Structure 1
Amino acid sequence: MMKQFFALVRGHSHEAAEAVVDRNALVILRQQVRDCADAIAAARRAVAIAIAQNDQEIVQFKKLVARIEDLEQRTVAALEQGRNELAREAAETIALLEAERDASDAAQKTFGTEIERLKRIVRASEMRLRELQRGQRIVAAVDSTQRLRESAPGSSLSALRDAEATLLRLRTRQKQIDAAAAAMAEMEQSGDPAAVSEKLAAAGCGMPLKSSADTVLERLASKIARPA
């Protein structure tokens, strides 16, 4: 019985932890992406340091080669002069420098191979990070959309419907006001003799009450055509 009780407690704890993770999955993802970006930035710095150290090793190697060449020339000169003891001392120094040169050359090769491997890892990691960042932006947009859809029975879409209804009422009221104003103007004109005369004249019934551009042109043309 106790085993079942402990299993029940562990099961509830596991499900509660999963529910917390699910609710905060986007926050967790953002932090994980930041952690990945920090790790890749640290890796880039490490590769840059390794490249700088390898460059220093190359400079040291070149100095060793130059020193060996110089000592070899001087050793040959000492042998030619019969100064064998001095030549032996120089030869021992050359042997030590050659061992150091060979070690530097081997270190450069190992360092170069490792640097190229690290560069490939960093480049691949950067590509994966960019893919993660794109995916993060997509899931963030989807999450916002899903939250809006989940809240549809509540305030979000309800507020949209309320706003649309208010807009419809405003438009309807404005149309009613415009129609009432037009009707009032029509009624005012129907009882005004001057307005009735203007309406008849505009319809071509009788002489026009106002001069138009055509009537002005006809009058001026008749004056020109009239003999002096």
Structure 2
Amino acid sequence: MSLLKKMVTAIRGGANEVGEAIVDSQSLRILDQEIRDANEALRKSRTDLTNVMAQRKLAGDKLDAKQKKLDELEGYASMALEKGDESLAIEIAERIAELEGDVASEREVVENYDASIASLKKSIKQAENTLVRLKQQVDSVKATASVQRAQAAVASRHSGQDASLRTALDSLERIKGKQAERAAQMEAAETVAREENGDDLDAKLRAAGLKAENGSANAVLERLKKKREAGGAE
């Protein structure tokens, strides 16, 4: 596969991914619209059923009228035969034969209407049941989505709190570290200052007992003893 074809394929794949992401993010909205479309189609089916039933009534009335006329002609034909008026009976019979064809045609129309009505009613009932189940499932999906959004919000807040606590602890540790560093620097500065002034060496000599404490009672007493001994020797 050439580089150009690979690039085109990659672009198409990316477009499909974007399209799927859009569909996924809008899935509930799309589903709601599909349900509205199904409801509208169901409403039109009910309207169609009403129209077919009205047409069937008209066709049924027409069939009933022709059947009534046919029954009436058959009665007249019987009466003509009873009177021996065969020519009139034949004329009536011709009219009956013509009318029987019309009645058969009308009956076929009515039967077709009845079949259409039965089929429409069955389809509408199935659609109604399907819509009821679909709406129940959609309500369940929406409830689940709502719970998941709430859980995600709680998890997000908890994560944010953890992050804030970790940040605060890190800040506290940095402050403690800086304070310890500053204390060490001050202690080191004091040590350097003592060394420069000789204080550190004096402190070590006094600690070793090699140098008396200035201003101490023992030092004063020792000095007085030495002075007294020096005076007696003279």
TM-superposed CA distance for 1:87, in Å, is: 4.2
Partner deviation per Cα, 1:138-194 (whole Å, 9 max, x = no partner): 1111111212222225469989xxxxxxxxxxxxxxxxxxxxxxxxxxxxxxxxxxx
Separation in structure 2 between the aligned mates of residue 42 and residue 155 of structure 1, nearest angstrom? 49
Aligned to 1:146: 148
Q: After the TM superposition, which residues 195-214 of structure 1 pair with which residues of structure 2 at under 5 Å, given as runs?
A: none
Which residue number in structure 2 is paired with residue 101 of structure 1? 103
2:122 alignment counterpart = 120
2:154 alignment partner, SS class: coil
Distance 1:73 1:156 in 2: 94
Q: For residue 6 of structure 1, what is the aligned residue in structure 2?
A: 8
Partners of 2:51 and 2:43 lie apart in 1 by 12
- CA shift, 1:117, in A, is 2.3
* Of 26, 39, 46, the match for 1:44: 46
Q: Give the letter for the 1:45 counterpart.
A: T
CA distance in 2, matches of 1:157, 1:90: 98
* Counterpart-to-counterpart distance in 1, 2:71 and 2:29: 63
Q: Describe the superposition over 1:183-227 as per-residue Cα deviations: whole angstroms up to 9, x where unpaired.
A: xxxxxxxxxxxxxxxxxxxxxxxxxxxxxxxxxxxxxxxxxxxxx
Q: CA deviation at 1:26?
A: 0.6
Instruction: State the match for 1:174 in structure 2.
Output: none
TM-score (norm 1): 0.61
Partner of 1:193: none
Measured after TM superposition, the shift of residue 127 of structure 1 is: 0.6
Matches within 5 A, 1:180-191: none
Mean alpha-carbon deviation: is it higher for 106-115 or for 150-159? 150-159
Q: C-alpha displacement at 1:98, in angstroms?
A: 0.6
Unaligned runs of 5+ in 2: 162-234
Counterpart residue number, 1:178: none
1:46, distance to aligned residue in structure 2 (A): 1.5
CA distance in 1, matches of 2:95, 2:142: 68
Query: How many pairs are equivalent?
Result: 159
Bigger Cα Rg: 2
Matches within 5 A, 1:10-159: 10-79=12-81, 86-154=88-156
The structure-2 alpha-carbon separation of the partners of 1:64 and 1:23, relative to structure 1 and needing over 3 Å to count, comes to same
Kept in 2, the 8 Å contact 1:75–1:90? The answer is yes
Give the AA of the match of 1:143.
A
Find the aligned partners of 1:156 and 1:129 in 2 and give their Cα distance: 40
Report the CA distance between 1:90 and its aligned residue. 3.1
**More helix by percentage:** 2
- Cα RMSD over matched residues? 2.6
CA distance in 2, matches of 1:16, 1:113: 48
Alpha-carbon offset, residue 17 of structure 1:
0.3
CA contact (8 A) 1:47 1:119 kept: yes
The one-letter code matched in structure 1 to 2:47 is R
Q: Percent identity?
A: 28
Work out the CA distance in 1 between the residues paired with 2:9 and 2:62.
Answer: 66
AA in 2 matched with 1:111? Y
